[in-house]
Structure 1
Amino acid sequence: MSSHTCPAVPVVHEGPLPAPGGGSLWAERSGTGSPVVLLHGAGMDSRLWDAVVPELARHHDVIRYDARGLGRSTAPERPYSDVEDLRAVLDHFGLRRAALVGLSMGGETSLDFALAHPGRVGALGLVGASVSGHLWPEDSQSVAYAAARRERDAAALAALELSVWASMGRTAPGGELIEAMVMDNARRRIVSESYLAYSPDLNAEAQLGDIAAPTLVIHGDRDHPEIGAIAKRLVADIPGARGEVIPDADHYLPLRTPERLAELLLGHLARRRIR
């Protein structure tokens, strides 16, 4: 966690909201100003944003939520869509339009949502983002991940997550919280991913030229090499997109370097007021 402190910002809402098809999504809302929704990555939860929310909420109406089956959201019992869940969050809070800031899977969901509902996205912040339609290289890590999922081996999945994506280790900033999040969510992740509705129609990588929202692409210099390759593609293909590389950060960038991330996001959002 960062040692940087910000004035406390009151939490306006904290608790469950209805999820499409049943169950609930846990969400928190704090701050005032133009709305910003934060989306975490696979196997994580909204604690990913703990060190960033205080600064963002000094300037914006900030909503963060736990994706289906992770954190304090309920486990799915039928197929679900991350894009529809995001729409449910916006609708619940009465937001016609918002900026979306997503890490990894959260960035992928943000892109898919921006293509499906372009009028509802005022700006995009893509942090270590993945993108639907991208063909990941098959290597020993991807084979091990597939085996852990197939065998429903939560311990193996958590160990892979920490070694591959949190490569800076437990002693780096945010390390203890990262380890706790990954361990807490490993078994939940296996369940939720088994119900995640796969749609071959989702191929944002082939439609990046249709993204109309002002876009900032950020990744850490110690993230997985494929994330760097995706970031270059996003900057090249999304009209007007800007790219930033943050030093001394792996995939868990919001907990590794929260001050620099908040600075970049606030600068990007200030250029485009979202209403």
Structure 2
Amino acid sequence: MKKIILILIFQSLMLYNSMGQKTDLQIDSGFFEVDGGRLYYEMAGNGKNIVLLHDGMVSNEIWDYQFPVLAKYYRVTRYDRRGYGKSSDPEAPYSDIEDLHELFLKLKIEKAILFGMSSGGGCVIDFTLKYPDMVKSIILVGAVVGGYGYTSHMTYRGGHLKSPADMADPVKAAEYFVWEDPYEIYSENLAAKQKVSEILKRNIHRPFNSQYYKPPDRIAARFLGEIKVPALILVGEHDIPDVHSHAGVIQYGIPGARREVILNSGHLIPVEQPGEFNKTVFRFLRRNEFFSRLNNGGIEEAEKYFNSTFNSEPKVPMFSEAEMNQLGYRYLQQDKTKEAVRLFTLNTISYPDSWNVYDSLGEALLKEGNKSLAEKNYRKSLELNPKNENAVNVLNNLKGER
């Protein structure tokens, strides 16, 4: 078993390196003062701001596989909340929401994309409701929302938690959640278990007087509809049912929110499936940026972003084939033929093995009057799908016109 664990740890480290970790990453770290304490932070990269909030068990190191990758394209900040890692313990009433607000002020962050793990996701929701103008978009990972509550299945971990009293002991609680709980980390993700175990040995969560915690002013579950920024909700396939339930409620409540289930993962997706997590996140971020530029700056701005980002690692599509196809036809219906041709062209670049994208581009080119290029695309579509009757008919008509 030890041999298997060591192999998986090595594979995980290789994956981390392949996803962009650099030994020369310039990290600005330190502490900033908050009401009644001080919090530790790390910051790296340049560009638009991202702030990472950890869960209720592991410190900011939960983001080890994301921090250096995101810092290649963004200005990324991660920090330890009170009672975690290098930050001070609560010694007086405090608010996680106001601590995060103080981080924005002290580090001169005007607006940011917020990532929130588990209870950190709940804090992201609360912060977005209170300070909506400071949030660009949110990514919620195994998040819970205040006011929705939990079942006894969550409390007793589906009957797997035999000694609830042990949870008062940080060491025993860590041992249980890492090695015994079937939901926190999926049983087959041994490298993730080992990594989290090592993090907790260095920085175990320190229990403190819960009376110091100041709850939000409002019950978030009742006001999710006020959140107007793009939202991505991620939940692990093997996470506990209550978290899946919370994810559904959050998606239903936030207009336009997207929800995805990450396979072969429990609760701690960023360390269990870092590669898939990063791809999913970049797909969401790049899609938002592409359509923001298209809507605000027009097709030229969107094309510039597409061309500058398309081959960036990790390579992910900025949009689905279907949504770009629908958008292209919407432009055609509005007699924006030249713009439609350009959008359909981006779809052929993104999905070069799809017969349908060439068929759509061919139709737009015909409407534009470019018969030779239309014929070329219809032939490509037919090559990929010999049963495409529409392409056969169009090509026969073009041949008859000669």
2:44–2:71 contact (8 Å) kept in structure 1: yes
Please name the residue that 1:269 is paired with. 285
Q: What is the aligned-residue RMSD (CA, Å)?
A: 2.3
Answer 1 or 2: which has greater strand percent: 1
1:125–1:215 contact (8 Å) kept in structure 2: yes
Please name the residue that 2:236 is paired with. 220
Once the 2 structures are TM-superposed, how far is the Cα of residue 81 of structure 1 from its aligned partner?
Answer: 0.8
Please name the residue that 1:196 is paired with. 213
Name which of 88, 99, 104 aligns with 1:74. Answer: 88
1:211–1:239 contact (8 Å) kept in structure 2: yes
Q: Which has the larger radius of gyration?
A: 2
Once the 2 structures are TM-superposed, how far is the Cα of residue 171 of structure 1 from its aligned partner?
Answer: 5.5
Return the alpha-carbon distance in structure 2 between the equivalents of residues 114 and 192 of structure 1.
26
Instruction: Say yes or no: does 1:239 pair with 2:255.
Output: yes
Deviation digits for residues 62-102 of structure 1 (CA, Å, limit 9, x no counterpart): 10001111011111211111101111111111011101000
Instruction: Say yes or no: does 1:17 pair with 2:32.
Output: yes
Query: Judging changes above 3 Å, is the alpha-carbon distance between structure 1 residues 2 and 217 closer, same or farther for their aligned structure 2 residues?
Result: farther
Instruction: Say yes or no: does 1:177 pair with 2:191.
Output: no
Once the 2 structures are TM-superposed, how far is the Cα of residue 12 of structure 1 from its aligned partner?
Answer: 3.7
Instruction: Say yes or no: does 1:210 pair with 2:226.
Output: yes
Return the alpha-carbon distance in structure 1 between the equivalents of residues 106 and 164 of structure 2.
35
Please name the residue that 1:45 is paired with. 59
Q: TM-score, normalised by structure 2?
A: 0.62
Query: Judging changes above 3 Å, is the alpha-carbon distance between structure 1 residues 44 and 63 closer, same or farther for their aligned structure 2 residues?
Result: same
2:125–2:145 contact (8 Å) kept in structure 1: yes
Task: Please give the residue correspondences for 1:66-105 in structure 2 after superposition, counting only pairs within 5 Å.
Answer: 66-105=80-119
Return the alpha-carbon distance in structure 2 between the equivalents of residues 50 and 186 of structure 1.
16
Between the two structures, name the one with larger relative contact order (CA 8 Å, sep ≥ 6): 1
2:235–2:261 contact (8 Å) kept in structure 1: yes
2:53–2:78 contact (8 Å) kept in structure 1: yes
Query: Judging changes above 3 Å, is the alpha-carbon distance between structure 1 residues 187 and 129 closer, same or farther for their aligned structure 2 residues?
Result: closer
Letter in 1 for 2:14: S
Q: TM-score, normalised by structure 1?
A: 0.89
Once the 2 structures are TM-superposed, how far is the Cα of residue 180 of structure 1 from its aligned partner?
Answer: 2.8
Name which of 166, 169, 182 aligns with 2:184. Answer: 166
Return the alpha-carbon distance in structure 1 between the equivalents of residues 30 and 211 of structure 2.
25
Bigger Cα displacement from structure 2, 253-262 vs 172-181: 172-181
Name which of 14, 19, 38 aligns with 1:3. Answer: 14
Once the 2 structures are TM-superposed, how far is the Cα of residue 32 of structure 1 from its aligned partner?
Answer: 1.2
Deviation digits for residues 15-57 of structure 1 (CA, Å, limit 9, x no counterpart): 2111x22321110001111100000000210000001112111
Deviation digits for residues 225-273 of structure 1 (CA, Å, limit 9, x no counterpart): 1111111111122100011111111111100111111111122222335
SS at structure 1 position matched to 2:98? helix
SS at structure 1 position matched to 2:14? coil
Deviation digits for residues 163-212 of structure 1 (CA, Å, limit 9, x no counterpart): 33434248523221212334555551x1264532235x431111111111
2:185–2:192 contact (8 Å) kept in structure 1: no
SS at structure 2 position matched to 1:266? helix
Query: Judging changes above 3 Å, is the alpha-carbon distance between structure 1 residues 102 and 133 closer, same or farther for their aligned structure 2 residues?
Result: same
Once the 2 structures are TM-superposed, how far is the Cα of residue 112 of structure 1 from its aligned partner?
Answer: 0.1
Runs (4+) off by over 4 Å = 142-146, 183-187
SS at structure 1 position matched to 2:93? coil
5+ long unaligned stretches in structure 1: none
5+ long unaligned stretches in structure 2: 1-11, 293-402
